[in-house]
Homo-oligomer: A and B are copies of this chain.
Amino acid sequence: MTGQTTIYDVARDSGFSIKTISRVINGAPNVREETVRRVRESIARLDYHPNPAAQRLGGGRLPTIGAVVDSIDDPFFAGVVAVIESRAMDVGMDVLVASTGMDESRMRTQVERLTRRGVAGLVVAPFGGDDTVRKALAVDVPVVVIDRKCGVEDRDVVRATDEQGAYDAVHHLVAHGHRRIAFLGNTSRFTTLVDRYTGYERALGEAGVDIDPRLVETRAWTADEAYPHALALLATADAPTAVFAASPMMGLGVLRAQQRLHRQDIALVIFGDHPASDLMTPPTTFVDQHPSRLANTAFDLLTRRIQEPEAPVRDTVLPTSLVPRGSGELAPRAAAAVAP
């Protein structure tokens, strides 16, 4: 064992009691400035670092924040976690990661586990039905919900303007002359996706286009599941001339299908960026959710709530922006050329 230096060493070295050291560490009020200075000196000299386990045991939480996301592997969440880790490091905290694997009960388990561990706060991308999520988040620790509201009313939430972002995307396609625009995205669970569908509807409605149910595919969750559906959509005689993929995963499915069918001529806008999207042929037009901004906002909110547990709940909706890069600006002519 390394014979860690403890608060007693600092007390001995500085000539104060351990309680005063504790006060200095925690920035408690009513400590003379001179005392603070001398204790700080001792701490630095001895390179003392408080033992988090002991701090927690002595009543308190760990200097740790928990991040619960669908999958750490997902580029969107990887980006979010990266920002959180970096912000946490700046304030001397660290980050426990936990994935839900898009499984309601596992999500609940993870939240409970991290809570028991004694984390100071949680950033959660919820997964599941509203009731399940609400139950899972009924824990006694600050929580910030990201990306999806899932009916949560008593927690801070940070998310994007889903409806408007989708509207912008579809409107963009309409503006480029498209009328047969497909929608891909699973609307069965999240308001997020439902909102995006609503944006799709609104844009088409405004353009006077009736929605063709054959162009709406709402069954897939993952890229692998989306792929066959995208194939089917694109292969029909009456194929769409443009596709709106309501999530990056859907987008990957579509891109894969396009490549398979050599149909680089179909316009595509994806909600959310994915790596190397600028290297596609043509480069993918997408709705930017600004994941790092979302993560930063979430971190700020969490910090605030840790300090002020009773602050009013805030539902922050961050604007998205459409980034035209090529795939969304294709004209519909190509489709006609291919029709039998």
Interface positions of A (Cβ within 8 A of B): 1-2, 4, 49, 51-54, 56-57, 62, 64, 71-73, 75, 78-79, 81-82, 85-86, 89, 94-99, 101, 110, 113-114, 116-118, 140, 252, 255-256, 259, 274-281, 283
Contacts and interface: CB of A to CB of B under 8 A. Distances in A.
B71 A82 contact: yes
Contact of A72 (B1, B78, B114, B116): B78
Nearest to A55: B53
Contacts of A95: 96-98
Contact of A53 (B53, B275, B276): B53
Contacts of A64: 96
A318 B277 CA distance: 31
Contacts of A96: 64, 94-97
Contacts of A114: 94
Contacts of A283: 259
A73 B62 contact: no
A276 to B, nearest CB: 5
9 contacts: A52-B117, A72-B78, A73-B82, A86-B99, A89-B98, A94-B114, A95-B96, A97-B97, A255-B276
A78 B85 contact: no
B97 A85 contact: yes
Contacts of A75: 75, 78, 275
Nearest to A60: B53
Contact of A2 (B99, B140, B281): B140
A79 B96 CA distance: 16
A146 B278 CA distance: 30
Nearest to A116: B49
B1 A140 contact: yes
A259 B284 CA distance: 13
A188 to B, nearest CB: 25
Contacts of A101: 86
Nearest to A119: B94
A252 B277 CA distance: 11
